[in-house]
Structures are given as C-alpha cells and as structure tokens.
Amino acid sequence: MPIKENTSLLHYNTFGIDVNSKYYVEYDSVEELRAVLQFEIVKSNQILHIGGGSNLLFLNNFEGVILHSTIRFIKKISENVDSVFLEVGAGIVWDDFVAYCVEKDWVGVENLSLIPGETGAAAVQNIGAYGVEGQDVITEVKTVELATNSIRVFSNSECRYGYRESIFKNEFKGKYIITSVIFKLSKNQVYKLNYQHLEDEILKTGEVNLHNIRQTIIAIRQHKLPDPKVIGNAGSFFMNPVISKKYFDELQEKYPDIPHYFVSATDEKVPAGWLIDQCGWKGKQIGNAGVHDKQALVLVNKGGATGAEIVFLAEQIQKSVKEKFGIELQPEVNYI
C-alpha cells in the first residue's frame, strides 16, 4: 500500500477528465485501511475516497489523498430456505457481483445489471434502475470511522436511504469509509418487472428468468447509454426532480405527454431526461462537452473536455429547464 505521488486520474474517472491527484493509495483489507489512516500524509491532507469513479466530475487537480479500496471478496455468511446473505467487499465491481448472483440463481440485483462503479459506492449512492434500488437488498454496511479509526456497522435503516440518497452523502459525508456490504438475496424466483415494457422485452428473449432479465437490461442500457470506455460520461448527470402533485398537474395540462413516476399522494417524479430533451438539448455540444444523442440525461466528454466545460454545459441546461418548466435540476454527479 505505497503512497503514489502525482498520479493521473484519467483512468479513475469515467468522464475521462485528465487531472492529477497529489497522493493516491490503495488498500486491500480493513486492517490495511486502518494502517493507512495512521499515515501522517493521510492524516494531514484532505481525503477523497473513490470507487469506480463513475459519479465524479473533477474540476481541478486534486490536492489531497485519494483512497481506493481493493477489498475484493464475496462471502456467503448465512442461508435459509428463502434467502442467502452475502458479504461483499467494497472494491468488487458492482456488475461482477450482479453477474455472480445471476449465475447462482439468487434474485434481487438483476435489475441493477451493468450499472458502473463498485460495491462500496453503490451503498453510498443507493444506486437504482428499473424499479429496484440498493436499499431493497442491503441489510448492513460495514465501515471504518475516519475520526476514530474504529469499525462501525450500519443497519439498513441507519443508512437513511432515499432516492439516490444515504447518510453517507449527507451528515456522514467523508466521515466513514465503507469496507463491505451485506446483501440479502432471495432464492424464490420472483422478479420485479413493473417498469414500463420490461417484461415484453424480456419475453422476446424466450422466457422470463434471471439470465434473460440481466441480458435484456444490459441490452437496453447498452442501446441508450454510452460506454464510458469509449465515450467519457457518468451515467445520469442529474437526478430526476421530485415536484409537488399540484405543480405536476399544472404542467400536465400544458404538456399532456409528460412522463412521471408516482412518489406519494403529494409528490411526483419527472424524468430529467425528458425535460432536457424538450428543451432541445439532445445531441447538442458546447466545446468538448456534449449531450448524449440517445438519452439527454447523460452528458458526455466528446474528447479532451475539462471539468469546467462539462459544468458550463450543465449550467446552460439547468437554466433552460428552469425557464421552460420552472424546475431546478440537481446534479447527481459529484463536483470535485
């Protein structure tokens, strides 16, 4: 676990922004992490813990220490007739974990196929797609507290999960490092297919089973979302805004086709991609920053973009959505 100096972050952020970090350290166990946290350089500098770098936008060189977990194990910790409990190291690539569960016929994470990033970050971000969120399958999150170097285990409810939200993004931001996550998967072959036409698409592949669900979701994502290995991006750039039902009804009168997801009796969620698309941004480009031509929610690095160029484009988009729809879009991506 040597400390590297002046490391290029080009391959540690899926946007492909070419910046450096003053220090960079990887560790592969909880014990190593606790030792790293004792290093003088680590104690006296700003720390940023990264996962797969799929939700970050670097605006400048990072003048502190980047930590990255290579804790990579999947361990069955218990099992009963209905369920299996797995502990998964924070550094396991999320989609490798999904593939493993599908292979074993364990149900729960298949709708989250092909989401980029690593397992620790998935538990921070409460990743979600096709009607499933991380919080539906996470039972516990194991961490090390930075201030005390002690281990703390968070229960699901202590993580305060919400839509792309958790305690690790809010009051405990930067205070705990996730080392592993406990998941509860089901052995019963009951799937969540309430997302639009998902079931029809799956049926086209033959029967509805775990393997076909995964393959269909991979195909849908590959069709709509650019591959970060080919074109830099961080998935959805903005969160889907939640607005009051009252305001939604007003918008729906003006825009009868406006898509929406039910949140509660008083709130509706509106797809940011649709709002941005309606403002005419799909496929547009400013400098080296662009809006993906198949999904307006995704901003892309057209080649050599700086973080500032991406932010400039994002701000122009926020301005037009605010003017046309009176809605403020919040970035899902973290600006660093």
Which residue's CB is nearer to ligand EPU, number 13 or number 21?
Answer: 13
Residue nearest to ligand EPU (CB): 235
110, 113, 118, 164: which is the annotated catalytic residue? 164
- How far is Cα of residue 154 from the mean position of the Cα atoms in its chain? 20
103: annotated active-site residue: no
Q: Which residues of 243-252 are buried (b: 16+ CB within 10 A; e: fewer)?
A: beeeebeebe
CB atoms within 10 A of CB 242: 16
Provide the token pair at 255. 């825009």
| Contact characters 240-259, ligand EPU, x per CB under 6 A | x------------------x
Helix axes 94-104, 210-224, angle to 10 degrees: 150
State the DSSP string of 11-48.
Answer: GGSTT----EEEEEEEE-SHHHHHHHTTSHHHHHS-EE
> Is 51 among the residues that bind ligand EPU (CB under 6 A)?
no
Which residue's CB is nearer to ligand EPU, number 37 or number 220?
Answer: 220
The window from 177-185, 200-208, 268-276, 300-308 that contacts ligand EPU (CB under 6 A) reads: 268-276
> Is 199 among the residues that bind ligand EPU (CB under 6 A)?
no
Using alpha carbons, select from 335, 330, 224 the residue that is nearest to residue 272: 330
At its nearest, how many Å lie between ligand EPU and the CB of residue 175? 24
Q: Select from 109, 159, 202, 297 the one that contacts ligand EPU (CB under 6 A).
A: 297
54, 113, 166, 236: which is the annotated catalytic residue? 236
**Distance separating alpha carbons of residues 261 and 259, to the nearest angstrom:** 7
Q: Residue 236 forms beta bridges with which residues? A: 298
Exposed / middle / buried, residue 326 (Cβ in 10 Å: 0-12, 13-18, 19+): exposed
> Is 32 among the residues that bind ligand EPU (CB under 6 A)?
no
236: annotated active-site residue: yes
Which residue's CB is nearer to ligand EPU, number 8 or number 196?
Answer: 196
Q: Which amino acid is at 206?
A: G
The window from 61-69, 97-105, 138-146, 232-240 that contacts ligand EPU (CB under 6 A) reads: 232-240
At its nearest, how many Å lie between ligand EPU and the CB of residue 335? 16
> Is 106 among the residues that bind ligand EPU (CB under 6 A)?
no
Q: Residue 153 forms beta bridges with which residues? A: 142
At its nearest, how many Å lie between ligand EPU and the CB of residue 227? 13
Provide the token pair at 122. 């998935």
> Is 94 among the residues that bind ligand EPU (CB under 6 A)?
no
> Is 295 among the residues that bind ligand EPU (CB under 6 A)?
yes
Which residue's CB is nearer to ligand EPU, number 224 or number 324?
Answer: 224
Q: Select from 91, 117, 273, 290 the one that contacts ligand EPU (CB under 6 A).
A: 273
Binding residues with ligand EPU: total (CB under 6 A): 17
- Which residues, 6 or more positions from 23, have their beta carbon under 8 angstroms from its beta carbon? 3, 4, 5, 7, 41, 42, 45, 64, 65, 66
Radius of gyration of the chain (CA): 20
Active site residues: 164, 236, 332
- By the criterion CB under 6 A, which residues form the site for ligand EPU? 129-130, 224, 235-236, 239-240, 259, 271, 273-274, 277, 282, 295-297, 332
